[in-house]
C-alpha cells in the first residue's frame, strides 16, 4: 500500500500544476492532505490573516482527477478549510472521524484567525487486518516552530487519543514543529518510528518556502507497520514537500 501526505498550500501553486501532481500519482492508495479548501471565498472571516492566493474549489478539483478514489473532508475553520483524506474505492473504510486537539470545534480567536481550533482526522481501513491512518495539521502560532504551552498540550491530546488504538497506524501531516522539540518527543514516546529522522531527511520544504526553517512535516509509524520504502518527493507543488510511504 502507498500513502502520500502533502500540505497542498491551498492549491496556491496553480490549478493545473497541483492537479497534474495527482494525475501522475493516481495509483497511490491514500492521500492525506492539509490546507484543503472547499468554498469560502465569500466569507470575510476567512480572509483575515489567511493567504488569499488559494483555490477555494481545490477539493472538488482533486476529486475530479482522482476518479478511483473517494474523499473524507474534515474542516476546522468554518465549513471550508481543513483536512482531507482520499482513499481508493477498493479499500474498505470501516470508520472515519476526528478529535479536537487544540481548543474546541468552532473556536476562532479574535486576534488572529490563523490560531483557530485544530483537529486530528482519522480513518480505519480493512475489515479484518485493520490499519488506522491519522492526518494532521498542527497549530500555527506566528512564533516559529518551537515548543509552546498550546503545542505541548496538543501533542499530549494526540498521544492520549492514539495510544489506545489496537491497530497498526500511520500518523502523518504538517506538524509545524522542529524535530528537536519536546512536542515531537512526546509523539515519539508512543513508541513510533519517526521516518523523517530515521531516514535522515534534511528538509521537508521546497524552494517555494522563503524561510530558513527546513522542517514542518512528519510521518510516524507504529512498530507493526512494515515499511518498504519512504521518500520525500521532488515535485514543487507546494511550499511543502510530499512524503511518500510504501508499506
> E strand or H helix at 221, and its extent?
strand 217-221
DSSP state at residue 40: -
Distance CA 157, CA 120 (A): 10
Q: Which three cell numbers stand for residue 108?
A: 476562532
Res 47: pLDDT: 58
What SS3 class is residue 202?
Answer: coil
User: Do 75 and 125 meet the contact criterion of CB atoms below 8 Å apart?
Assistant: no
Res 116: pLDDT: 93
Q: Which residue has the cell 502560532?
A: 141
Distance CA 225, CA 86 (A): 20
| CATH match of 2-246 with 3.60.10.10 | yes
Closest CA to 9 of 39, 50, 44: 50
- Mean pLDDT split into 10-residue runs, the chain, 247 residues: 98 96 98 95 65 86 98 95 98 98 93 90 95 98 95 98 96 98 98 98 96 97 98 97 98
Closest CA to 49 of 25, 81, 74: 81
Domain ranges of the chain: 2-246
Amino acid at each position: 500500500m502507498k500513502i502520500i501526505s502533502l500540505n497542498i498550500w491551498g492549491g496556491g501553486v496553480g490549478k493545473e500544476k497541483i492537479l497534474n501532481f495527482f494525475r501522475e500519482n493516481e495509483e497511490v492508495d491514500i492521500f492525506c492532505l492539509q490546507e484543503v479548501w472547499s468554498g469560502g471565498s465569500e466569507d470575510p472571516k476567512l480572509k483575515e490573516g489567511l493567504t488569499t492566493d488559494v483555490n477555494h474549489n481545490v477539493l472538488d478539483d482533486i476529486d475530479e482527477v482522482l476518479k478511483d478514489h473517494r474523499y473524507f473532508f474534515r474542516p476546522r475553520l468554518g465549513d471550508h478549510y481543513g483536512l482531507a483524506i482520499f482513499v481508493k474505492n477498493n479499500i474498505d473504510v470501516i470508520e472515519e472521524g476526528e478529535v479536537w486537539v487544540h481548543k474546541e470545534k468552532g473556536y476562532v480567536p479574535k486576534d488572529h484567525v490563523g490560531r483557530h481550533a485544530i483537529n486530528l482526522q482519522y480513518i480505519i481501513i480493512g475489515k479484518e487486518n485493520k490499519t488506522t491512518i491519522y492526518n494532521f495539521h498542527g497549530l500555527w502560532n506566528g512564533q516559529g516552530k518551537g515548543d509552546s504551552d498550546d503545542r505541548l498540550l496538543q501533542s499530549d491530546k494526540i498521544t492520549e487519543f492514539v495510544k489506545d488504538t489496537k491497530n497498526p497506524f500511520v500518523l502523518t501531516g504538517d506538524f509545524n514543529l522542529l524535530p528537536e522539540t519536546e512536542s515531537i518527543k512526546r509523539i515519539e514516546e508512543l513508541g513510533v518510528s519517526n521516518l523523517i529522522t530515521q531516514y535522515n531527511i534534511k528538509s521537508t520544504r521546497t524552494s517555494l518556502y522563503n524561510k530558513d526553517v527546513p522542517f514542518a512535516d512528519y510521518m510516524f509509524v507504529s512498530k507493526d507497520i512494515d515499511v518498504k520504502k519512504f521518500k520525500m518527493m521532488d515535485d514543487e507543488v507546494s511550499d511543502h514537500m510530499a512524503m511518500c510511504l510504501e508499506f
